[in-house]
Structure 1
Amino acid sequence: MSVMPPSPDHIVTSDAPDRQVWIDYARGIGVILVVFGHVLGGLFSAHLFPDETLTRWMSYTLYTFHMPLFFFLAGLNVQHSLRHGTRSFLASKAWTIAYPYVLWSLIQGGVIMVMARDANVPILPSDLAAIWYRPIGQFWFLYALMICHIVAALVRRRALMIGLALLSFAIFCALPARPDLALTLHHFAFYVAGLYGARLVTAWQPQRGAGWLLLMAALAGFAAAVAATARLSGWDANSLLALPACIFGIAAVVLLCKLMDAPRHRWLAAVGLMSMTIYILHILAGSGTRILMLKLNVPHWPWLYLLAGTAAGVILPMIAHVVLQRLNLLTPLGLAPLARRKTASVPSTAVTR
């Protein structure tokens, strides 16, 4: 995916005194789940993961909370960013969200057009021409997030924002058909929750003993909610019935990340810091790995393809991120924000910018 680190818009020096490292962990967890879910879906579409029941359960479990998590995290730093002014805020978002949306939609779409014979979902020139109102692939997230930021910049009254969030969620649940862009209506509520819950969430630090008990309770609640609502909802992870599982899932991730020991989980923080690059490139990396394995006649063992695709979808974009960073190409490619005068360095960005 965060779907997604701390200053959702940019990362200053990694040793910043006010840095919320737990958000890096959360984005790292979130983007790994995004990659896993998309690789699983690709394998199922290609008939390489034949267990439909297991696929449904895994997909429902993931999709109840992992994208709402990214919108929640994206809202956490918005109030702080808006202090620089509406114009500055929107200009920043245009560079870190709108620009990479257009650029990478065209790049990924072009690659899929070239590899049309091997793609699960072919892309046509008309699809690329329609990205202004119909996102392709995973890029719906950037489109939806930009809409959320625009609304946050223009509507400053808390009561009105909360009212809009509730209304948009209700409209989404009532829609008979839900194109990807309609997911904005669903996820806006979680963005608003992050927007107005930021001070409380970032300041709260659970005690170790009580925190682990709360985490176990949240995980138990999540498992129970998933088990109770999966079939009742018709496997619709964005339905009203799935809302309890979503809330428990987000709470569990936040709790877990708050309780993590920083020195032991630097690798996960690194994943979170590079989550934007991973989110942008993981489809090309994961699907490319599946196609390569098929061409090399690797035995069609479902879990081998799933694990290999997920690992490639995370690791290869991270390698690309490091290489592009050394070549000073992250910013030109929309994977890092423009440097600010008072910022010492801008090493990386995250998916929830």
Structure 2
Amino acid sequence: MTDQSRQSWIDFLRGVSIVLVILGHAYGFAFDADATAVQPIEEIEPGVIIEAVHGINKSVAPFRMEIMFLLSGLFVHRGLAKGTGRYLQGKINNILYPFIIWSLLSFALRQSGAVLAKGEPLDWELVLEMFLGSAAATWFLYYLFIYYLVAPLVRNLNALAVMGVSLLIALFLPEDSIVSPNLFYFFVYFYAGDYLARNEVGITSRPARRWLTLSLAAVAATFVVANLTGKSSTWPGYVPLVLASVPLIFQAAISLSHYRFAEPFKYIGRHSMVFYLVHFHMYIALAYLLEMFTSNEAAIFFLLFIAGLLVPLCISIARRRESMSFLNVLFSPPRQTATATRLS
């Protein structure tokens, strides 16, 4: 399989993950709930569609960000092949830069609302949270940048040892630690992606039927645990189940990426940085404004979800126009000629 076709299915799978993230955030903002679904469905009295969204969010919560980190890990090997200097510069331009820009924008947006609308004082602790990787939305870029820095140092060590130590730290590190256990939890997936790429594991080759059957069983088991227990979406026990699910997920993405309906998802995947960053920060203001006009939480959800797709789409299209090229400064350094659109 060519590199182009391989990138196509990766873009598709990344796009699907981003749409599921937007769906979860729209639900969370509309119902003031944790989109990973700890809140009982009876408490929000939803319609059939909202109930289905609730179920989808619960079922895919152990997969969404995990798959995004794993896909990002696939690019470590190719990046290092270009040389350490270019590798590091690329991560500074494409990850660290937007992390700083959007962390500052997030602080300004949240605090302007708190100060102007609620009369609250500035909360400078939010700045510390952002630069410790615990702020909403930008935490993903924080983790990703650290992973890209650490990966070259540990990629030649025993894979099971590295992943095992990371998982043990995630399991035993207290939730209220300065560094979140999730930093070590998600590293397992990122490292797994790098391992697959550098060892040239045939991820685009169709596995034997018995492996696909096992992978299907792992997906089903993950859904059951997610829906019937109160486990957090980052419960370490999910790791073997999610990793065992990867062959089926990859094969499904490879197969589905050839169909016409996959094109919007591939577009979102190619512009994932825009969709990921814009939708969440827009929701901070938009959810507050919508609540001023309606108390219908279902209506707020649908409006948020639609806006979460359309506004980033418009920005993705607009930033390609010369008259609107100033928008690129939100995602890549002004002097960078090749703009970054992917979360990789």
TM-score w.r.t. length of structure 1: 0.78
Q: Which amino acid aligns with 2:205?
A: W
C-alpha distance 18-40 of structure 1, shift in aligned 2 (>3 A): closer
Query: d(CA) in 2 for partners of 1:254 and 1:19?
Result: 10
Matches within 5 A, 1:69-108: 69-108=67-106
Q: Which residue of 2 aligns with 1:276?
A: 273
Residue of structure 1 equivalent to 2:150? 151
**Structure 2 CA distance, aligned partners of 1:65 and 1:261?**
19
Q: What residue identity is the alignment partner of 1:132? A: F
Two-structure CA RMSD over aligned residues (Å): 3.5
Report the 3-state secondary structure (helix = DSSP H, G, I; strand = E; otherwise coil) of the residue aligned with 2:342.
coil
Alignment of 1:250-329 (within 5 A): 250-262=246-258, 264=260, 265-297=262-294, 300-302=296-298, 304-326=299-321, 327-329=324-326
Q: CA deviation at 1:333?
A: 2.1
TM-superposed deviation, 1:108 = 1.6
Distance 1:217 1:128, change over 3 A: same
1:308/1:253 CA distance change after superposition, 3 Å = farther
Aligned amino acid, residue 350 of structure 1: R
The answer to whether structure 1 residue 33 and structure 2 residue 20 are counterparts is yes
In 1, Cα distance between equivalents of 2:329 and 2:3: 24
Match of 2:45 in 1: none
Give the aligned residue type for 2:181: A
Tell me how far apart the structure 1 counterparts of residues 341 and 109 of structure 2 sit (CA, whole Å).
Answer: 24
Q: Distance in 1 between matches of 2:334 and 2:156?
A: 28
Kindly state the Cα deviation for residue 85 of structure 1 after the two structures are TM-superposed. Answer: 1.7
* 1:350 matched to 2:337: no
Q: CA deviation at 1:276?
A: 0.7
Query: Structure 1 residue 252: deviation in Å?
Result: 4.1
Count of residue pairs brought into register by the alignment = 322
CA distance in 1, matches of 2:327, 2:258: 26
Distance 1:62 1:275 in 2: 18
What is the 5 A alignment of 1:232-243?
232=229, 234-243=230-239
Aligned to 1:7: none
CA shift for structure 1 position 348: 5.2
**CA distance in 1: counterparts of 2:5 and 2:215, whole angstroms:** 27
CA-CA distance at 1:147 after TM superposition: 1.0
- Mapped contact 2:133–2:142 kept (Cα < 8 A): no
Q: Which residue of 1 aligns with 2:171?
A: 173
Which consecutive unaligned segments of at least 5 residues does structure 1 have?
A: 1-14, 341-345
Letter in 2 for 1:151: V
CA distance in 2, matches of 1:231, 1:46: 18
> Where does residue 48 of structure 2 map in the other structure?
none
Q: Out of 249-258 and 65-74, give the one that drifted further.
A: 249-258
Q: 1:301 to 1:139 in 2, by over 3 A?
A: closer
Distance 1:336 1:276 in 2: 14
Could you tell me how far apart the structure 2 residues matched to 1:43 and 1:130 are? Answer: 24
Three-state SS of the structure 2 residue aligned to 1:52 is coil
Alpha-carbon distance between aligned partners in 2 of 1:123 and 1:324, rounded to the nearest angstrom: 32
Superposed displacement of residue 173, structure 1: 1.1
Distance 1:38 1:118 in 2: 22
Change in CA separation of 1:53 and 1:252 when aligned onto 2, cut-off 3 Å: farther
Q: Which amino acid aligns with 1:314?
A: L
- Residues 72 and 193, structure 1, Cα contact 8 Å, conserved in 2: yes
Q: Name the CA distance, whole Å, in 2 between partners of 1:336 and 1:258.
A: 33
Length-normalised TM-score, structure 2: 0.80
Q: Which residue in the other structure is 2:29 paired with?
A: 42
For 2:239, the aligned partner's letter is: L
- Secondary structure, in 3 states, of the residue corresponding to 1:137? coil
